[in-house]
Structure 1
Amino acid sequence: MPISLRDAFPSDLPAITTIYRESVLNGVASYELVPPEQDEMAARFSAITGQGYPYIAAIDEGGLLGYAYASAFRTRPAYRWMVEDSIYLGPEARGRGIGRLLLTELIQRCSDLGFRQMAAVIGGAHPASIALHRALGFEDTGRLKATGYKHGRWLDTMIMQRALGEGAASDPDASTYPGTLFKA
Structure 2
Amino acid sequence: MIRDVSHADAAALAAIYNHYIENTVATFEEDALTEAAFVQRIDAVLDAGFPWLVLEEGGELLGYAYAARFKERVAYRYSVESTVYLKPGVTGGGRGTALYEALFARLQPLGIHAVIGGITLPNPASVALHEKLGMEQVAHFPEVGFKQGKWLDVGYWQLNFEST
Q: One fold, TM greater than 0.5? A: yes
Shift of 1:145: 0.3
Describe the superposition over 1:42-93 as per-residue Cα deviations: whole angstroms up to 9, x where unpaired. 1111011111100000010041000000000001000000011001111132
What secondary structure sits across from 2:89 in the alignment? helix
Partner of 1:57: 54
Mark the runs of 5 or more structure 1 residues left unpaired by the alignment: 171-184
Q: Is 1:67 aligned to 2:96, yes or no?
A: no
* Counterpart residue number, 1:139: 136
Spell out the pairing of 1:158-173 with structure 2 (5 A cutoff).
Answer: 158-166=155-163
Aligned to 1:120: 117
1:20 maps to what in 2?
17
Alignment check: 8 A CA contact 1:13 1:38 kept: yes
Larger radius of gyration: 1
Give the conservation status (yes or no) of the 8 Å contact 1:107–1:164.
no
Question: Equivalent of 2:94, from 97, 106, 112?
Answer: 97
Distance 1:19 1:32 in 2: 14
Q: CA deviation at 1:29?
A: 1.8
Equivalent pairs: percent with the same residue?
35
Structure 1 residue 147 displacement after superposition: 1.2
Aligned-CA RMSD value: 1.2
**TM-score, scaled relative to structure 2:** 0.95
In the superposition, the TM-score normalised over structure 1's length comes to 0.85
Gaps of 5+ in 2: none
Q: Deviations over 1:77-117 (max 9, x none)?
A: 00000011001111132111111111111111111221011
Count matched residues: 164
Shift of 1:123: 2.3
Q: Please list every run of at least 4 consecutive aligned residues from structure 1 whose deviation after the TM superposition is greater than 6 angstroms.
A: none
